[in-house]
Structure 1
Amino acid sequence: MPISQKVPTWALAPAVLAVLAVISYQTIIAPENLKGTKNILSGAKTIPLPAHGPESLAWDPQGEGPYVGVVDGRILKWSGDGLGWVEFAYTSPHRGNCSKHEVVPTCGRPLGLRFEKKTGDLYICDGYFGVMKVGPKGGLAELVLDEAEGRKVMFANQMDIDEEEDVFYFNDSSDKYHFRDIHYVTICGERSGRVIRYNKKTEEAKVVLENLLSNNGLALNKDGSFLITCESATGIVHRYWIKGPKAGTSDIFTKVPGHPDNIRRTPTGDFWIALHCKENRIGRWMVYNQWLGKLAEKTVSLKLLVALFNGFKPHGIVVKISGETGEILEILEDKEGKTMQYVSEAYERDDGKIWFGSVFSPAVWVLDRK
């Protein structure tokens, strides 16, 4: 081409737009890169499920399981490679139109699961009905409570049980949204989440912590002196003191680098916190600018909103924090999402294996670190 011949402006436009798109993605949308992580989760074993969304895992007092709750309202039990998954319980008698792939509100949505060791009862936080329980033989769960201090429990999420005191604590993540709109809870900016204490003897439900922004995971520490709960929107982990000179007060325990889901205490007393995804700039803009979050709520589909938050690159990530100081001890990833995506819980067993659940995927995963 002669030097004097000029390239038409219209021919440069696609190249300029392509460069701008790459820059915009890397600076605004792409998930953040974290230092010091271990990219090992892709090596976990996958155990497929006959339905989506094993959000939480639990083992019964005999050590059998795991049990998981899935999107069609059932609790399934893993009975080993021979029998696979068998139906154990369900939270709604209305089974006619339940889907194994997406939530139908009348079928319920079991989220956090906890077994009570002394009775063998399984307690279930259902994202539509409230806190429920079912006996050791399974079947249809019964309602324990769906209201606290005059406010309906709209979004029961995760819980933990103090068997010595005969009480349990659970999250009600929103007084406006149910589970299906979980990501709108994250961006709406309304601090309507609360932690509720339920006394099983007196049947009294008391709010102990409130004004939380989409609080999700919850777990007691090893001696029951405090609990921690995390905000999915901000990554902040709050500590509420139950016993001792600070009883009845709260403080910030730590902050994790992403949008946290469930919390599980390890056998040694630390905590695993599952992250739905890492942070990115566009997600922070929506969380910390309420007008933008409200605009996205009205104009962006839930599917697109999820994609924006994970940078159009679903991945797996969990964080281990100290049970004493909140210090981040370890971060495990599947950066490319080859095996794990949308991790909702990490449950470490005494044998060193870590089991992982997912809010969307039709599988659980097992990582044997020994």
Structure 2
Amino acid sequence: MGTSLSIWVLIMAVLVWFFASDPLELSSLSGIEDFQAQYVAPPPYNPLSGISRDVESKLQAAEILGQGEIFGPESLAFDAQGNGPFTGLSDGRIVRYDGPELGWTSFATTSKNRSAICDYNHIPEAKLDYEHICGRPLGLRFDKRTGELYIADAYLGILKVGPQGGLAEPVVTGFNGESFKLCNDLDFDEDGNLYFTVSSTKYQRRQFFLSRLELDNTGRFFKYDPVSKETTVLIQGLRFPNGVAVSKDGTFVVIAESNMARLLRYWLKGPKASTWEVWMDLPGVPDNVRRNENGDFWVAFHNKRTFMEMYTGALPWLRHLVAKLPIPSKYLYAMLAPKPHALILRYSSEGQLLETLEDQPGKVVKVVSEVEEHDGKLYIGTVLFPQVAMYALSSSA
């Protein structure tokens, strides 16, 4: 029997044992108790129950901006004058949309080590080889007071660039003498403090799938004080913390914890200040979270939770074992991530589900990484495809 076949037999035997086991017996296994105390698999309820199924294809009414001109527009932002959207790409650039005639214009870069390998045509789909050289801007936020654009670059940390663009300058690039490995998203509070996530202290973004597969718990949630220049860890031990959004009244921050398929709430003010809690379980893997002018939160989903992901989530040791086996990543990814299925949810600041938008077959909108509401439209980013989608909220009426 060949080595590769033996490995697959071993994997299948472990999975058969797992699915045949009594869930109550699994809790006695060493190292699982603490994790199970945090993790619910599957969720105890279906957040989409009672929602009309006409939402399944609503996002197919979206218009595509710049099909094929850009790749991997993960996050979106508008400046104080309403220009944009601005978005960061897989080739390390930040670009601005200047309308259908002008299209996308280069605005800024995060890495000073740019060369021909960073050109768009040299960054084919799913190729991550040059990200650590060219930079990979993820979360974007404008400081409306100064006009500066703040950037969470996966490899280079938090940076900022002025209203005229150009090469961004570092703001905070590490903690306790160590550079950030996977900086992800950020947001400001009303006092100008910056909150941001570092998804892993073990893996870089080009290894993000290993972090997801292993249920890596080295993620952190930080605060940066621009006056004192002090960086503080607010939460640690997170499993791929991702999107960040401060509430409209400034009392709390919402953090998406992707590998746990849930939203966390960190209290900034009030009797619970400096504490955090699980705000809600989710039906999919959340990416970025963005607040609209009314104070509601748009949650973008990378994908819905698969059967395999839900039921192996309570056994991180099994996921860790599989991650160490010489199995091509594309096969492992297929087990955890289903076919593209766009899902967007809107929650009130009290946690009530207000709206569901989908493109269930993924005909127009596929993997969603962020939803930015602006002037009655939703601008939809996707880290895995060459497009930004624009959806008129009037289509939801």
TM-score, length basis structure 2: 0.81
Matched, 1:152 2:179: yes
What is the letter of the counterpart of residue 366 of structure 2? Q
What is the SS of the residue equivalent to 2:201? coil
> Is 1:235 aligned to 2:261, yes or no?
yes
The aligned residue for residue 61 of structure 2 is 43
Deviation at 1:356, TM superposition (A): 0.2
Separation in structure 1 between the aligned mates of residue 89 and residue 100 of structure 2, nearest angstrom: 19
* C-alpha contact (below 8 Å) 1:51/1:100 kept by paired residues: no
Task: Note the C-alpha offset of 1:150.
Answer: 4.4
Match of 1:115 among 137, 142, 154: 142
- Out of 300, 306, 326, the residue aligned to residue 274 of structure 1 is 300
Report the CA distance shift for 1:116/1:53 in structure 2 as closer, same or farther (over 3 A).
same
Match for 1:66 among 82, 85, 89? 85
Rounded Cα–Cα distance in structure 1 between residues aligned with 2:95 and 2:314? 38
SS at match of 2:317: helix
Say yes or no: does 1:173 pair with 2:199.
yes
Shift of 1:347: 1.0
SS of residue in 1 equivalent to 2:100: helix
Alpha-carbon contact 2:47-2:282 (below 8 Å) kept = no
Matches within 5 A, 1:71-82: 71-82=90-101
Q: Does 1:251 align with 2:277?
A: yes
Tell me, yes or no, if structure 1 residue 337 matches structure 2 residue 355. no
- Structure 1 spans left out of the alignment, 5+ residues: 1-23
State the secondary structure of the residue aligned to 1:341: coil
Return the offset for 1:344. 0.2
Q: Give the Cα separation in 1 of the matches to 2:61 and 2:236.
A: 39
Gaps of 5+ in 2: 1-15, 20-45
Structure 1 vs Structure 2: percent identity of aligned residues? 41
* Aligned equivalents of 1:59, 1:122: Cα separation in 2: 10
Q: Which moved more, 1:257-266 or 1:176-185?
A: 176-185
Instruction: Output the CA distance in 1 between the equivalents of 2:322 and 2:366.
Output: 24
Matched, 1:295 2:321: yes
- The structural deviation recorded for 1:129 is 0.9
Aligned to 1:82, the other structure's residue is in SS state coil
- Partners of 1:198 and 1:210 lie apart in 2 by 15
**Is 1:86 the counterpart of 2:86 in the alignment?**
no
Structure 2: distance between partners of 1:159 and 1:203: 16
Q: What's 2:228 paired with?
A: 202
Matching residue of 2:390 = 366
The structure whose Rg is larger is: 1
Residue identity in the other structure for 1:118: R
The answer (yes or no) to whether the contact 2:47–2:283 under 8 Å persists in 1 is no
Conserved? CA contact 1:226–1:239, under 8 Å = yes
Query: How has the CA–CA distance of structure 1 residues 59 and 366 changed in structure 2, closer, same or farther, with 3 Å as cutoff?
Result: same
TM-score, length-scaled by structure 1: 0.87
